[in-house]
Amino acid sequence: MSGSCSRREFLGMGLKGMGAGLLAPRLPGVFSSTTGQATRRRHNVLFIAVDDLRPQLRCYGHEQMISPNIDRLAGGGTLFERTYCQVPICGASRASLLSGCRPDTTRIHYLKPKLDETMPDVLTLPQHFRNNGYTTVSLGKVYHVGDDDKKGWSQPPWHPKRSWPGYVTEEIEQLRTRLWEEGGKKKQRWEVLGPPVEAADVPDDVYADGTLTNRAIEELGRLRHGPFFLAVGFVKPHLAFACPKRYWDLYRRDEIDLADNPFRPGGAPDAALHNWGELRAYCGIPKEGPLPDDQALELIHGYYACTSFIDAQIGRLLDELERLGLRDNTVIVLWGDHGWNLGEHGLWCKHCNFETSLHSPLIASAPGVPAGQRVNALTEFVDIYPSLCEVCGLSVPDHLEGASFAPLMRQPDRPWKQAVFSQYGKGRSVKTPRYRYTEWKEEEGNVYARMLYDHQADPYENVNVAELPANAELVQRLTGMLAAGWREALPGA
């Protein structure tokens, strides 16, 4: 999308079916590698990762958002309403998803180490596709560390320049240099950040994610004869909220709302909260205490603008798929690597065990699968690997720790998982259809803090009810679910 546009113009836009032992009907028109017979050529895969994208999209019910292209993808595919990341930080979340293993198995709980270091022999998602005759290509931020998973890719991963923090104006770069010099050059130059926002009046491809889209379109043309597994990882809406001015202009700041619950939840333990150091590293952000309302509104505005910027890039990819005649034979999966806080509970960024950090968007589209479906069942990111195997007719590796959600794409209301599991720091969290329960343990195993939220009565997690005597039996049951772990919560368990 280049040039200027108005708000009105911008808005104008096969499976085996077995999930961890649960038998389900096969989706039609799918190549089955287990039988060696092909009813049609193998499906391509367009694998879209979006950094820090929470379900802040119109297709998820946020009417204020301008996300016509992601909405279009959801309208032509399956939207998963309750998908959760395994850990709300990009390095660990991506390593978990791409290996199909949970963080305690990958031994990656934060940004580092790399999967190549902790699990050098694991069969990753891209490596499995590569071993089955796919050309696998990584563009942009797929793994957190760009050279991770060397065996997974048919060619070296490619990254646009200046992806993070993503500034393009000389004024901000001069400011960063001055701050670096005034600070005694104690940090690396790239570690010194400028303001948390930028809105340059430039074409999309002056910014890194626009350049990334250009490269992805080139790759689609080169790979069009397939089969391909093309991973495209967008950086925005990650901080800094830097994108072309036209996307800021899509929103009126006086129509943007602050968080409804910018306060500490009643009864929440100290372990549940953090000082959002990621944001405080940017200049102009106070080192302690809440943000002034005008600054909070500017940041929310920037997050919305960057989301719409990425939506436009995704629209360009979808348009190119259709132009090349690839749409009908391409599986598309779009996911945000975790949630993000926009002032809820007085928090910003991710790095916590609240719903706002763990709830993540997931949309999947596959040939032969009904369009416009919505799935309310609980799903999680470790389910993506086995699901793509099922959809594309590949065998499902034994090491995977999720369940294919392919049966839900045939029958969205079927019985499914009893719970999904996430974690951050020493906190372990279980989400059931009604509750979220989190507990923090000391090294010796003693629980020193816990939270319980009833999402039926308190969907925004404003009052921790874990210590109420009336909930003692429920807490005991959920503690048992955490201890039993994910295997006991699988469909059919």
Q: Which is nearest to 22 in space by CA: 404, 447, 473?
A: 404
Centre a 10 Å sphere on the Cβ of residue 479 and count the other Cβ atoms it contains.
16
- Separation of alpha carbons 400 and 385, rounded Å: 8
On the 0-12 / 13-18 / 19+ scale of CB atoms within 10 A, 458 is: middle
- Separation of alpha carbons 464 and 467, rounded Å: 8
CB under 8 Å to 397, separation ≥6 — which residues? 100, 123, 128, 389
- Separation of alpha carbons 181 and 184, rounded Å: 5
- Secondary structure (DSSP) of 307-352: HHHHHHHHHHHHHHHHHTT-GGGEEEEEEESS--EESGGG-EES-S
- Separation of alpha carbons 223 and 275, rounded Å: 45
Up-side HSE of residue 63: CA atoms within 13 Å toward CB? 1
- Among the listed residues 43, 109, 128, 144, the single catalytic one is 144
Q: What are phi and psi of 406, to 5 degrees?
A: -55, -40
Question: Would you state the torsion angle of the CA atoms of residues 437, 358, 365, 44, taken in this order, to the nearest 10 degrees?
Answer: -120
- Separation of alpha carbons 464 and 25, rounded Å: 41
- Among the listed residues 43, 59, 85, 90, the single catalytic one is 90
Centre a 10 Å sphere on the Cβ of residue 222 and count the other Cβ atoms it contains.
12
Q: Which is nearest to 478 in space by CA: 441, 424, 417, 430?
A: 430
Q: What are phi and psi of 121, to 5 degrees?
A: -105, 5
- Separation of alpha carbons 167 and 404, rounded Å: 39
Residue 90 bears catalytic tag: yes
Backbone CA torsion sign across 233, 225, 318, 365: negative
CB under 8 Å to 465, separation ≥6 — which residues? 267, 452, 453, 454, 458, 471
Up-side HSE of residue 101: CA atoms within 13 Å toward CB? 19
Active site positions, annotated: 90, 144
